[in-house]
Structure 1
Amino acid sequence: MKRRVVVTGVGLISPVGNDAATSWEALCAGKSGVAPITRYDASTQGVRIAAEVKGYEPDDYFETKEARHLELFVQYALVAAREALGDSGFEITPENAGRVGSIVGCGMGGLPTIEKYIQILHERGERRITPFFIPMVIPNMGAGQISIFYGTRGPNLSVTTACAAGTHAVGEAFRSISYGDCDLALTGGSESVICPMGFGGFHAMKALSTRNDDPAVASRPFDRDRDGFVIGEGGGILLLEELEHAKRRGAKIYAEMAGYGLSGDAHHIAAPPEDGAGAIRCMQAALADAGMQPADIDYVNAHGTSTPLNDVVETRALKAVFGEHAARLAISSTKSMTGHLLGGAGGVEAVITALSVKYQFAPPTANLENPDPECDLDYLPGKGRAMAIRAAMSNSFGFGGTNAVIIMKRYEE
């Protein structure tokens, strides 16, 4: 029999706040984190806007020498994990460390550092490459450094499934605890690819919004005038815990993990099939795993990237899965405010989903002013909603046709 798993701690560092409480308040208010790029001079780029983490100083969290050897996506994972641990009240000790896992998603790893050292290699030669280069850039270092910094000795796993990575990580952590591989896990996702190479690559695919003159409204999922997604950065980490373990220590519980689904499109490297078949199978798998019917879901945190094709396909998939109940769902894309954190998106959105269940509030879809006629569900345009949320679903779909869905529900004895 599978063990029950609950969320007992959350941590966020995002484009709208450097902790969970600040981020949640901003999201509920519909505040955008998109602005002109400040990380470097982007004046010659076709896309000059991003959802950057703001006011972040590595020296507030790490020793100066230490920070130099930690890529930003790793720093964000560590900062969010520290908050999640502190929030949970759980202390990792040598006695329990073997039962605590670190399972974190990342899409692209240390792309800014790769870009930097390619230039150094060509201009100054191989001898100028730092010995820390490889450990800085490999995508598993979010999970690895969480284990090293905080002493987790259970499953140490990184998931790299493009924009579904954070949700896959949370789902795999849920399964690891359910099946007894560990009792707790720090899990989620992180990403930071705000660099010329990252923007150049996505812009070449015509995937990004070019609304450079009005960045706050550039990310507009399900809106008729959307023109692409906005790259974001940050990290979202949850502490998942086996229910009886959490009860024994009197832990507060945000939500209960209920279901996890995953599927493949077998269709295209970057585009979903127009009928949404892979997303449909994935949502259905998560419902089956949760033992739920479509009518049991009240809120969906949509993948909702603000690209012309994705939003229409996700709408079709939601209608196929939920039938008549689709019209009664509250659905929102918080990427309208955070931008798209790529491999980190699912981690951030898992935290948002847990908070939605805990506080019985669905955040809005910002900038949804002129709904696309093909996106005709209740996407909470501009304003969030206090409502009864018995169960909530979070969707993530990635390049390569990889799909992940998790379901959380209100905790009941």
Structure 2
Amino acid sequence: MPTIDRRAVITGIGVVAPGAIGRDPFWTLLRNGVTATRIITAFDADRHRCRVAAECDFDPIANGLTHREARAHDRVTQMALVAADEALRDSGLTIDGELAERTGTAVGSAVGGTTTMEREYTVLSDGGEHWVVDPSFATPHVHDYFLPSSLAASLARRAGALGPAAVISNGCTSGIDSVGYALEMIQRGEADVMVTGASDAPISPITLTCFDVIKATSIRNDTPESACRPFDRNRTGLILGEGSAILILEEAEHARRRGAHIYAEVAGHATRCNAFHMTGLSAQGAEMSEAIDHALSKARLNPTDIDYVNAHGSGTKQNDKHETEAVKRSLGEHAYRIPMTGIKSMIGHSLGAIGSLEIAACALAMQNKVVMPTANLFEQDPDCDLDYVPNIARDHDMKAVLTVGSGFGGFQSALVLTDLELAGRG
């Protein structure tokens, strides 16, 4: 069972995001409210309902991978490796000897190697002409593209981590839940360090088609830079994104002994499933509220201790109202007194990766004492009646932050970050 005596802190952050490769450019983009959504360039999307996405201008070779590494890994793993390299440098850790045995890996992804798998099938089937394919035309790495577990294995090899390794694939809450799993590994004494976070590269014809079918994506193709409008009266849906955020999570005393820079403590995590509908959400937000309540309980915080909420903020009609109600249900009148913003308005929805990108953003916001804005919020929906910090960042001191996520299949997750010395937490 988790023990209250072992606490986990973030000592390293690495980011590959739309419009920003690296932790510092990522923070600058968010602080300035810059949107990275644009007409898709990765493939010809002219026949799709939605033709907008938040793409990463990511070159694996230019960002430190060898030609062999780039060939061996799908884009989802390439981005994770680059983010992990930055996170490890940031942490100042050298993982070897006994520490390697005490270092684990927990990484989230919703769709894994979809991009390369789709490309390989196109090659093997000669553009869909042949039902029976010739495997001799396949790359020798196709097996790794197919297995989600290869993502965790590749990160473990990169970091030299010999402890527990896992891939968490809970759809759009994967990036929160992977960090929650890493927290539990440290609390239980299974590891002293966890290389954690998430990565996803879903911008491909097959993924875009899936979202077209259910009409979840925005139809604002004529204004791609403002296509995603969380909490706005005129929002029309989400915008796909891609990217990776890798965090170094470390047992607090281990980090203190070596004088590590600590961004924040990961103080509590909870996840629930609404067992309701594959894509539908109840208007009252009860399931997300329950996840919030349990995360606060694990963090030993009261609702009034929360200083800021990072919203899921996908920009769909039902989600924005659902989580607004969930936050009010859990935080009560205090919800009206604190800011709540959605960064998907700027970097899109990278499915399994977004939860970790948002955790990284929250840690940076706490460090810089600045709340990121909700971009493209021009006319607030009356049904969404909280303070969403429209378009311009705001100075704000934060000791405790709540970030929430909602995923297809009914997944509802919440995670709390705090200042390590927050009063009342021991």
Q: TM-score, normalised by structure 2?
A: 0.95
**Aligned AA for 1:75?**
Q
2:67 is aligned to 64
1:412 is aligned to 421
- The C-alpha deviation readout for 1:66-122, integer Å capped at 9, x for no partner, is 201210111111111111110010111133101111101000111112212222232
Per-residue deviation, 1:272: 1.6
Per-residue deviation, 1:411: 2.2
Matches for 1:281-360 after TM superposition, within 5 Å:
281-360=290-369
In 1, are the aligned partners of 2:107 and 2:178 still within 8 Å (CA)?
yes
Per-residue deviation, 1:57: 4.1
Per-residue deviation, 1:235: 0.3
In 2, are the aligned partners of 1:106 and 1:140 still within 8 Å (CA)?
no
In 1, are the aligned partners of 2:60 and 2:78 still within 8 Å (CA)?
no
Q: In structure 2, list runs of 5 or more residues that go unmatched.
A: 127-132
1:153 is aligned to 162
**Given the alignment, which residue of 133, 138, 145 partners 1:129?**
138
**Given the alignment, which residue of 120, 123, 148 partners 2:123?**
120
Per-residue deviation, 1:127: 2.4
Matches for 1:222-261 after TM superposition, within 5 Å:
222-261=231-270
Matched residues in 1 for 2:270 and 2:376: separation? 30
In 1, are the aligned partners of 2:266 and 2:417 still within 8 Å (CA)?
yes
1:79 is aligned to 82
The number of residues matched between the two structures is: 413
Say whether residues 1:194 and 2:203 are aligned partners. Answer: yes
Aligned Cα RMSD in Å? 1.2
Aligned-partner SS, 2:198: strand
Matched residues in 1 for 2:63 and 2:402: separation? 35
2:41 is aligned to 38
Matched residues in 1 for 2:183 and 2:35: separation? 31
- The C-alpha deviation readout for 1:363-388, integer Å capped at 9, x for no partner, is 00000011011001000111111112
Matched residues in 2 for 1:65 and 1:133: separation? 14
In 2, are the aligned partners of 1:59 and 1:67 still within 8 Å (CA)?
no
Aligned-partner SS, 1:357: helix
Per-residue deviation, 1:44: 2.5
**Given the alignment, which residue of 80, 95, 105 partners 2:98?**
95
Matched residues in 2 for 1:58 and 1:198: separation? 26
In 2, are the aligned partners of 1:107 and 1:139 still within 8 Å (CA)?
no
1:395 is aligned to 404
Go from structure 1 to structure 2 and tell me whether the alpha carbon gap of 1:153 and 1:411 turns closer, same or farther (over 3 Å shift): same
Matched residues in 2 for 1:95 and 1:261: separation? 31
1:181 is aligned to 190
Q: In structure 1, list runs of 5 or more residues that go unmatched.
A: none
Aligned-partner SS, 1:144: helix
- The C-alpha deviation readout for 1:271-294, integer Å capped at 9, x for no partner, is 222211110110001011011110
Matched residues in 1 for 2:247 and 2:395: separation? 23
**Aligned AA for 2:253?**
E
- Aligned-pair identity in percent equals 39
Matched residues in 2 for 1:285 and 1:135: separation? 36
Per-residue deviation, 1:342: 0.2
Matched residues in 2 for 1:230 and 1:18: separation? 19
Matched residues in 1 for 2:14 and 2:271: separation? 24
**Aligned AA for 2:37?**
V
Matched residues in 1 for 2:135 and 2:79: separation? 29
- The C-alpha deviation readout for 1:332-362, integer Å capped at 9, x for no partner, is 0011101001000111011011111222111
Aligned-partner SS, 2:237: coil
Aligned-partner SS, 2:82: helix
Matched residues in 2 for 1:305 and 1:35: separation? 17
**Given the alignment, which residue of 3, 15, 19 partners 1:16?**
19
Per-residue deviation, 1:404: 1.5
Matched residues in 2 for 1:57 and 1:126: separation? 27
**Aligned AA for 2:14?**
G
In 2, are the aligned partners of 1:140 and 1:159 still within 8 Å (CA)?
no
